[in-house]
Chains A and B, each alone.
Chain A
Amino acid sequence: MESVDGAVRTLPSIGRLSRGLPFGRPHGQFGLSPSGRLLPPALRSQENADPRRTAFLLHKQWTLYSVTPLYRFSNTRLRDYARLLSAFIAAEKQKGLAVEIGVELDIKVAVSSIPDLKGSDQDQAAILVQLSLRSPASSKNSEEKLIWLGWFCCVSGDDLSENVPEDFTCLPLFLANGAESYTSIVGSWFQKTFDCCFRRLAISPLNLSWMAAMWTGCKVDKTASAMELVFSVPHLPQPLDISYAIHPEDAKALWDTVQKTPGEITQEEVDVFMDCLYSHFHRHFKIHLSATKLVKVSTAVASAHCDGIIKVRF
């Protein structure tokens, strides 16, 4: 599942980005091809996509997990899954292991498929799990309150799904928004039911630099927020964090002169882009950012933290 990390780069393309957004195709251990990567349309199915159906993923903070292929998962049984998961959560609550919530409250589970969310035609449609609270004490048509969201998706193109044996479904990326206790209950139900395994997904500095470059290249309006890189300096007696924020227009102007290969982004271009920013920094402060650790990238389009937390704004 190493290449899932690389697949994370494609996430913002799920939003309402312009068609030209670079779309990564992970190869090899770090999700990188040695030469570069093609820039196919952001999302093939996006042409007919209803933005309202995918709007839920914007402006939320998502924690990333990698998931091994699901055994005997069927898209036609989503209703059953919702019922079973709901029973499982109720049982966990009874055990007292679950979240602190009022006894009167009842959790409703919905599992649905979102065909708009996938990287390529071969990919599985994304699966959305929603937990909402409803209180039986209040009137029947009372509003349900969404308390937790999680979705499985496939953004890695053909590479991963192709080699999956029969009876297995490949949805290698899981994103959760809401209390961790719910993530853990839902996760353990999926692990038990589909014999899969969840793991927190860290984003490597290399992939963060890819995101920085790709997102910088996206067209955004003039009032856009700065492109911010956050570095942490390891192994000092006193920890040090450095935030390096660049005016979005200036960052884009730099990237536009660096990005030369038509229809493609190469590792070399990403390296040159970061090296240019590092040397500008070094000229002022005499500090080698290349020796520090890039921990967070934040642009007007999206932000990503090395701990595997992302937020898509656009």
Chain B
Amino acid sequence: MDEILAEYIRRTVLKIPRDEIKTVLQTWGFLSEAQLQTVNFHQIKENISQDVVRLCEENSADIKQAAVLDIIYNHIYSDKRVWSVYQMSKTGEETEFFDLTDFKKKFKRRLRSALKNVTINFREYEDNSIWIRIAWGTPYKKPNQYKSSYVVYHSQTPYVFISASVLKSTLPLLCQALVVASNYRDIREMELRSHSLNSLKDIVFKRYSQNFQTYYPRPLQERNVAPESADLRIVQENRHEKERIERVNRKVFGDGPQPKLEFAQYKLETMFKSDPKMGVLDKKEPFRCLVKFSSPHLLESLKSLAPAGMADAPLSPLLTCIPQKARNYFKIREKKGIFPGSFVSP
């Protein structure tokens, strides 16, 4: 086992929270239970990592095993990466039998024909997903294990989740290999990205709950706290407005929890419209803006905007269409020839 590999294993171990190192190593299964018994998992991580490397040396680990450990780490901590959704398409509607061995073989062959120095590893999970790890080199350099790409593919679906390497130039090659190996014709990015791989799956597999329950009003708190002196009609009106917002919100977002996304981005190239009386900016060119929304749980926070009085109800379709359209990156231009206030996104 060379030094570079030892260091790679050591750093992978260091990334794992201390309390979970043992479990991850057990999942890995490369070190025997007896070997693991010899490691003191209560010492500082630095020492644990060195002990693990020593044991790996005993078992003469190679890059294949190290890559599997990295896959296991990324599978458990998939939220650490940003995932993009890609959709593949084919001409006919015919469904072919998916053969995993054939897929792997074609995928490897395709990549290796373009680039000799690549490390490719696969691991299958119970949910029918295939995790692929690719570390990229150059014709003259060995693969850089620290800048690997990850692909999660569900063979019964046309969707692929890619967490690309920082080595940007590798992406077209990766997409090509995927299309060839899975017998599709084309692949396109859906402009849907998140840290939460599961939420992306929920969105594209339409797994998030959209059960629009029938509306049964709950008594609102305000009913009891309204001061007696207040104008009853105003109280009544406020209550009606609150109920309307709740109703509209439920219609748009549904009752269930929202899928987890952390951001949405809009590139606006629309006209700037203002009150002619104000006499400001009367330009025929679009007003160029880039708007980014970010939140630990974007859709939940958008859902709470109107009830908090920060937004109109219903909220703009540009925001509420995110789960249905399965995208969170948009380019918005003015719809031509139609009344103002409507936008298109390509």
Contact = CB atoms under 8 A, between A and B. Distances in A.
A240 B308 contact: no
A233 interface: yes
A285 B304 contact: no
A280 interface: yes
Nearest to B315: A286
B311 A285 contact: yes
B199 interface: no
A287 B264 CA distance: 15
B343 interface: yes
Interface in B21-56: none
B308 A287 contact: no
Contact of A285 (B272, B298, B316): B316
Contacts of B319: 285-286
Interface in A99-149: none
Given A240-B302, A276-B281, A284-B266, A250 B291 contact: no
Interface residues of B, number: 43
A285 B321 CA distance: 12
Given A238-B297, A240-B295, A240-B298, A285 B310 contact: no
B289 A288 contact: no
B206 interface: no
Contacts of B308: 233, 235-236
Given A233-B305, A242-B293, A288 B310 contact: yes
Contacts of B312: 282, 286-288
Nearest to B297: A238
B305 to A, nearest CB: 6
B314 interface: yes
Interface stretch (A34-42, A251-259, A301-309): A251-259
B279 to A, nearest CB: 7
B280 interface: yes
Q: Which residue of A226, A254, A287, A292 has the most chain B CB atoms within 10 A of its CB atom?
A: A287
B275 to A, nearest CB: 8
B322 to A, nearest CB: 12
Interface in B288-346: 288-298, 300-302, 304-305, 308-312, 314-316, 318-319, 332, 341, 343
A97 interface: no
B119 interface: no
B281 A238 contact: no
Interface string A267-301: 00000100010011111111110011000000000
Given A276-B278, A286-B316, A233 B310 contact: yes
Contacts of B314: 286
A59 interface: no
Contact of B318 (A226, A247, A253, A285): A285
Contacts of A285: 291, 311, 315-316, 318-319
Nearest to B266: A284
B147 interface: no
B212 interface: no
Nearest to B272: A280
A180 interface: no
Interface string A210-251: 000000000000000010000001011111111111110010
Nearest to B295: A240
A244 to B, nearest CB: 5
Interface in B265-285: 266, 268, 270, 272-274, 278-283, 285
B305 A287 contact: yes
B287 interface: yes
Q: Which residue of B291, B294, B310 has the most chain A CB atoms within 10 A of its CB atom?
A: B310
A242 B295 CA distance: 9
Given A240-B298, A285-B291, A285-B318, 14 more contacts: A233-B308, A236-B308, A239-B296, A239-B301, A240-B301, A240-B305, A241-B294, A246-B289, A280-B272, A280-B287, A284-B318, A285-B311, A287-B310, A288-B310
29 contacts: A233-B301, A233-B305, A237-B300, A238-B296, A238-B304, A239-B301, A242-B292, A242-B293, A244-B291, A245-B289, A247-B289, A253-B281, A253-B283, A254-B280, A254-B287, A257-B280, A276-B272, A280-B274, A282-B312, A283-B273, A283-B341, A284-B266, A284-B316, A284-B343, A285-B316, A286-B312, A287-B310, A288-B310, A291-B309
